[in-house]
Structure 1
Amino acid sequence: MIRKNGEHGRLRPGMLALAAAAMMFGSSHASAADPRAELLQKFEKAVKGKTVAWVPVWMGVLEGEWTRVMKAHFDDYGIKMVTRDPNMKSDVQLQAVSSLINEKPDVLIVQNPTTTLLARELKRAMDAGIKVIQVNMASNQLTDAYVGADVPKLGRMLAGEVIKACGGGKGSGKISILQGEATAAYSLDMVKAAMEVFKTDPSIKVVSSQPTNWDANKASDITTNVLQQNPDLCGIFSVWGPQTVGAAQVVKNAGKKGEVKIFVASDGQPADCDMVEQGLFTKNLSYRADTQGEAIANAVLTLLQDNRPAGTTQLAYYTTNYWVSSKDDRQYCFVVPKE
C-alpha cells in the first residue's frame, strides 16, 4: 500500500518514466497486433500496384462483360489492367500473348480459341514467373487457374433435355448439332459429352454435327441444308447461343417454329433470353458472364496473395448453370450497362 504523504508515498522520477514507457509500449503493441488491420495491410501489399494482362479472342458481348466486371474490381483494388483485342485473328492473339509475356505482367488471363494455339506460350509465361488464368475455353496446357463453365456438364444437361423432347419415340428423333470452332475445347468437350448421352437412347439419330466457327450465318447455311435433307428434324443442339440465331431464323422461315426444338448453351447474353421469350429457342442453359467476371477477379486476387511460384497451382472456379425457359427466368441473363 502506498502512503499519501512522505517519501515512500511518492512515485520517484525513474518509476514515473518506467510507467509511461510501459503505457506507450502497451498502446503501440495493441495497435500493431490488430489482426484486422494486419490482414488489410497484407492484402493491399499483395495486390496494389500489380498488373494484370487480358487477351480474349475478341471483344464481343461476352468478353465485354467479363472485361467490365474485372475492370471495376481491379480499379477498386489498385490493380492495373492491360487489354489486347485480337478481333478473332489467331495470329494476332498469339503475337499479343507473346509480347505481353516479355512485358512481365503479374498475371496473364487468356481465352483460348483452340486447344493448341497458345499452349506453348502459356507454359513460357509460367516459366517466366507469370501466373496464368484461362477463361471458359481451355488449352491442352494446364495453368495456375481455370475460370469458366464445367463444359462436359453443360453438354450432358443439354443432351438430357433434347432426349426429353425428341427421344423415346417422340417425333423422328433426328438431331442436328451446331458446334463452335472445331478445335476449341469448349465445343469439343461439350459435343463429346452430349454424344455419350445421346447414345443411351437408340431413338436419337444425329443427322448432322458441323462447326459454325461461332458464326450465325454459317449456322443458318448448315440448318438450311439439314432441313432440306431432313424435313422431319426434331431438334437442334447448339454449343453457344449467339451462333444459333441464324439457325432459329431458318426454322421460323420454314414454318417449323416450336416444331423443331432448339436447345443452346449460353453465357447469359440478353439476346439469348430474348430468343427464349420469342419462342425461337426452346431452352437456354445459362452460365452468366457477369458472375464469371466476378470469379475471374477472385482468381486473380487469390493468385496475387499466394506466394507459391507460377505453375505450381491448378485452381478451378466452375460457374453455376441456370435454365432459362421463359420470361420468369430473365434474372439468369445479365444486363449490358448503358454507356
Structure 2
Amino acid sequence: MKTSIKASLKTGLLAAACTMAGTLALTAQEAAFDNPGPEAYANALEGRRVVLIPMTMGFDLAQGWNYFIGEEVRQFGGIWETRDPNWSVDAGAQAITDLIASADKPDVIIVQSPDLNSYSRLYRRAQEAGIFVIQLDNPSNYASDVFAGSNWQTLGELETQAVIDHCGEDSSKKIGVIQGDQVNSSSVDQWAGVQAVLERNPGWTVAGTGDSNWDPTTARNVAATILQQNPDICGIVDFWDATAQGTAAAVRDAGLQDQVFIATTGSGETIDCKLLENGTFGAVVMSELPRQSQDTVAAIKLLLQSGAAPGDASMYLYTAERARTAADLTPTTCWDQAAIEARAAD
C-alpha cells in the first residue's frame, strides 16, 4: 500500500513538474514573442534619411565617418547620403539650404561646422523644418540637437602637457604653437587649452605662434620663422596632424629633430601611428574616430526613437581622449583608411 502511494506521489509530482516546465517554456516563448523592441526599433529607423556634410569628403575624417556611420545607418534600414562642399563654406551652406527646401527632407543632417557662425541660422531653419541636426567634430555657437566629438580645450591641454612632460624642467621652457585659424572652434578652443596648461605651469611660455590656415606649407613657413627666432625652443604644439607634417619639415630643415618635440591631434588613422613610430611626431591626441562615429550612430538612433521634435533639447557627446606616444601604440590603436575603402569596394 505504502509502495503504491509513493509511486502515485512520484507520478503526480513528475506530471506536475512536466506541466510546470511546459508552462514556463510557453511563458518564456510568449514573452520573447511579445518583446516590443525589434518592431519599435524598425518602425523608428527603417527608411529614415541621414545626410553627412563634412567640410570636405577628401580627407581621412570624412572618409572614416562615411564608412563607420554609413555602415550602421544602412544596416538599420536607413538611407545614407553625403555632400561634398570641398572646403567651400558657401557650398556647404547651399547643400544644407537645398536639403531644407527639398520635398524629400532628410530626417537627420550631420554637419562638420567650418567655423563658429556660418551655419548657425541654417541649423535653426533645419530644425524648424523637422530635421534633427548633429554637429560633428567642430561645434558652432548654435546648440543643435547633438554635438559629438572632441572637447577641444581639453585636447589642447593634453597636447601642451605632453610637450611639457617631455621637455622637463631643465629645458628652455619655451614652446611654439601653430594654430589653425581664429574662427574655427577646434582652433580657438585648443588655444584656450594651451593657455590653461601654461597657467598651471609657471615659467613656461609660448615663444612664438601663428596661423597655418590649415595648410601644411603655411605651417612649415610659420614654424621656420618661430625656430629662427627661438632656436632654443623645446617643443611645438600644432593643431592638426596634416599641418604638423609641414611643421615637422621645418624642424628637419633646422636640424632640430632631436630637440623639438611635436604634439598634435589627428583622427587616429594609420598615418598618425606611422609618424609616431618614426619619430616625426612626439605625441598625438587622437580623436578616436571609430568611437566618435559610434557616438554619432547612438545619437541618430536615440533621436529617431525619442518622440521629441528637433530643437527640443541639446546634448553633448564628448569622446574620451589621451595623448599617445610611440610607447603606447598597439596593432589596433589606429584605424586604416585603405582597409575600409577596400571593404567598401567589395
- Distance (whole Å) between structure 2 residues aligned to residue 293 and residue 33 of structure 1: 31
Secondary structure at the aligned position of 2:200 is classed as coil
Q: Structure 2 counterpart of 1:284, which letter?
A: V
Quote how far apart the aligned CAs of 1:215 are: 1.4
Q: Structure 1 counterpart of 2:189, which letter?
A: D
- Distance (whole Å) between structure 1 residues aligned to residue 48 and residue 54 of structure 2: 20
Secondary structure at the aligned position of 2:329 is classed as helix
- Distance (whole Å) between structure 2 residues aligned to residue 112 and residue 68 of structure 1: 20
Structure 1 residues 294-319: Cα deviation after superposition (integer angstroms, max 9, x where no partner): 22111111111110111012122211
The residue number in structure 1 matching 2:205 is 205
- Distance (whole Å) between structure 1 residues aligned to residue 166 and residue 309 of structure 2: 50
Q: Structure 2 counterpart of 1:269, which letter?
A: E
Structure 1 residues 94-137: Cα deviation after superposition (integer angstroms, max 9, x where no partner): 11111111122111110001000101100111111111100010
Secondary structure at the aligned position of 1:285 is classed as strand
- Distance (whole Å) between structure 1 residues aligned to residue 334 and residue 31 of structure 2: 46
Secondary structure at the aligned position of 1:271 is classed as helix
Segments of 4+ moved more than 4 angstroms: 30-33
- Distance (whole Å) between structure 2 residues aligned to residue 113 and residue 181 of structure 1: 11
Quote how far apart the aligned CAs of 1:212 are: 1.2
- Distance (whole Å) between structure 2 residues aligned to residue 328 and residue 140 of structure 1: 35
- Distance (whole Å) between structure 1 residues aligned to residue 300 and residue 256 of structure 2: 46
Q: Structure 2 counterpart of 1:58, which letter?
A: T
Q: Structure 2 counterpart of 1:53, which letter?
A: V
**8 Å contact from structure 1 (residues 67, 293) kept in 2:** no
The residue number in structure 1 matching 2:321 is 321
Structure 1 residues 278-299: Cα deviation after superposition (integer angstroms, max 9, x where no partner): 1111111112212211221111
Quote how far apart the aligned CAs of 1:187 are: 1.0
- 1:239-258 to structure 2, matched below 5 A, reads 239-258=239-258
- Distance (whole Å) between structure 1 residues aligned to residue 247 and residue 221 of structure 2: 8
**8 Å contact from structure 1 (residues 180, 187) kept in 2:** yes
Quote how far apart the aligned CAs of 1:208 are: 2.0
The residue number in structure 2 matching 1:136 is 137
The residue number in structure 1 matching 2:89 is 90
Quote how far apart the aligned CAs of 1:32 are: 8.9
- 1:1-339 to structure 2, matched below 5 A, reads 34-36=33-35, 38-59=36-57, 60-103=59-102, 104-166=105-167, 168=169, 170-326=170-326, 328-330=328-330, 331-336=332-337, 337=339, 338-339=341-342
Segments of structure 2 that go 5 or more residues without pairing to the other structure are 1-25
**8 Å contact from structure 1 (residues 155, 193) kept in 2:** yes
Quote how far apart the aligned CAs of 1:199 are: 2.3
Q: Structure 1 counterpart of 2:329, which letter?
A: D
**8 Å contact from structure 1 (residues 242, 272) kept in 2:** no
**8 Å contact from structure 1 (residues 178, 236) kept in 2:** yes
- Distance (whole Å) between structure 2 residues aligned to residue 143 and residue 328 of structure 1: 35
Structure 1 residues 313-338: Cα deviation after superposition (integer angstroms, max 9, x where no partner): 21222112143211651432212215
Structure 1 residues 225-270: Cα deviation after superposition (integer angstroms, max 9, x where no partner): 1111111111101222121001111112221113111111222121
- Distance (whole Å) between structure 2 residues aligned to residue 209 and residue 228 of structure 1: 13
**8 Å contact from structure 1 (residues 163, 198) kept in 2:** no
- Distance (whole Å) between structure 2 residues aligned to residue 323 and residue 223 of structure 1: 22
**8 Å contact from structure 2 (residues 55, 113) kept in 1:** yes
CA RMSD in angstroms, aligned pairs only: 1.9
- Distance (whole Å) between structure 1 residues aligned to residue 291 and residue 83 of structure 2: 22
The residue number in structure 2 matching 1:4 is none
TM-score by length of 2: 0.85
Structure 1 residues 56-114: Cα deviation after superposition (integer angstroms, max 9, x where no partner): 00011111101111111111111101211001011111111111111221111100010
Q: Structure 2 counterpart of 1:71, which letter?
A: G
**8 Å contact from structure 1 (residues 178, 237) kept in 2:** yes
The residue number in structure 1 matching 2:23 is none
